[in-house]
Structure 1
Amino acid sequence: MRRHCLDRSIEAYDGPVEVEYLPVDNTEHAHTSAGAALNHAVRQASHDVVVLVHQDVYLHDLDRLAACAAALEDERWGILGANGFTADRASVGRLRDRVILIGDSAPDPVPVDTLDEVLLIARRDDLLREPLSEEPELAWHAYAVEYSLRVRAAGRLAGAVDTAITHNSMSTNLARLDEAHRHVGDLYPALVPIHTTCGTVDPGARDWGRLPLIRDHGWRRRWLQQSRIAARVRSEIGVQVVLADIAHEVDLLGYSREQPLHLLNADRRGGFAAEAGASVVLERDGRPVVMSAVAPRHVREALRSLGRAEHVLVTGLAVSDLADLGPEVSGRDWLAGVQWDEVWLVRGQVARQRPAEWSRRSAVPLGASLPRS
């Protein structure tokens, strides 16, 4: 994964920024935590600013990263990152997460409560004086959350900023996340509740989600809200609609090495297409995805350029965008999906023969009937 994503993006760069690349191989378990591995790399680095990044990230524009790093000349910023959460629970920092765009655009750093671990930017001297936590409770989760809070406790700012990256994650590792969050809450009780990209830390709050009634039926409120959007989608373009998280279920689409998936992100909020919209091919479990991003007004033109490609996925649309697409997305070869308040569209065999996962109760909108394949 590292060779295919991070290595390849750095090797493709041919610009003026001098890049020192220090991959840390922990396959022999020389380091007991992510913090320990990254601290080791910081000690080896020779530049004033370091970027700490996951192996499954593709860097679309290293010049953009250099511009982000230059913001650290302002001493108010203690650490920057690709995505973070504000006090009012807004996700800030535009990036591609698997196959969807997330986060509000932040061309310049925006103060946040906490940062995600996917990509961090900091002064090397700061990290030498105040290394990332190597505590066992934060071995693989929330070490950036803790560092953000530590920076803020020292009177400086943690900031999220647009870094033009794709996080090509193949899995979601939640093991011991609750333990990490509890530890962060214990360390910074005065800052609770603490909003993070993986949930809210509030040790004193009752976990209503674990109550049987909420656990078994809590999905219905979201289902009703998304069903209303699904009805508008059906009215607009006349195709079947499912309610599904395409970021985590993209690999159900049946694409292959011979017939790759063509992904088109509609960048409604801006901050991504201009910097990272050019086509790039990333693989998921050996199957290629041809990724590109455009402004919503250019989606129709981009779809026409794909011709009759078998597997096409468009994400990030609003219902109001659908009227302009018209006949480009009608017929039995197309299926629509609703995720949060956004609409995605898929063309291919999966539209004609839906996977069983999209026949579960929570995936079928109110008033619709989707037969099990």
Structure 2
Amino acid sequence: MSDNNHDENRPVARKAKGDAGEKHRIGISDVAKLSGVSIGTVSNYLNYPDRVSDKLKFKIQEAIESLGYIRMPRQHSNFGTVPYPIIGFVITDVENSVFISALEGVQEVCDEEDMQVIAVNAMSDKERQTSLVRMLCQMRLQGILLSSVFDSQDDIAFARAAGIPVVMIDHLNPAIADNSCSILKNDEAACQLAVHELIGTGCKRLVFAYHAADVFQPIHNRLLGFEDIASKDGEISFQSVDSAGNSFEDGLELGNSIAAMPPEQRPDGMIAATDTLAAGLLSALQHNDLRIPQDVSVIGLEGDTMDSISPMPMTVVESPGVEMGRQAMQQLVDEITNPKGHIHTTQLLMPRLVRRSSTRKPAI
């Protein structure tokens, strides 16, 4: 393990919006969640009610009335003579449920605007991403949403040269910040929520586990959030450790090494940069007969769906995936329909802590 120095080389947003107190407009994904059906079923209820059973109609209508959902009027004229406006969504990795949640938000706005979305998987591969962006541009779509692990100025420049606007999701590229909108989670705040939760439940020796060689911008920003608090708090032990990767197996290996430490040196609170890494940590710690959360508390920083591999319900800082998708799509629609008046912005959305079994209960 090694102590880390605070890094001031961080992206700076031009115009950031969003805070923990903001309320999003109720949309069909909220209706779907409350009624226990898919977004597609809610869409059918609104547009093709004959396709929905009476039982589901009743559930959906109850949810609509409970939430106060108001359907936005369709705006066919926004897109001129385009009969079926289509946008593309390049997803960095479909195995990460955060981006599937973002797709739900995108689909919700598309339904309201009478648009369609084509989603493709870049598999966290830069060359594949570039190929997909070029393919979508050749299809002459109305716009592209891009969630990327990498700075993507070449891909965005290619799309813009073809007259196709691009909005970034969960990534900020400072080099082209004035030429593109970005919607992302406040990852520094996400890690700081986790730190405060651990300190508030009595943890004294905190560790942030991450892959030091990872170029994924959100992970770097999570580290910055950890280091920022570490530089200001002299009573708590803060250390970061290179997990050598973000996989479940990397978490197992790191967890085994943590378990082998003398109790007085072992961390009692751990924050994992990804939920997959956190699931591996939990499995190894439990396998070595450490009590979770009494001996070690663990928090993941994504809110990904880990039910199939995590040995217990995991406390997470949940990404606002659906809202990222909503707002990104709204920005894209505005740029498509109002190209001269559109203002590029960076919007930082606040995450939220979800307490489960892997952390102690806060002191009352």
TM-score normalized by the length of structure 1 = 0.27
More helix by share: 2
More strand by share: 1
TM-score normalized by the length of structure 2 = 0.27
Higher RCO (CA-CA < 8 Å; seq separation 6+): 2
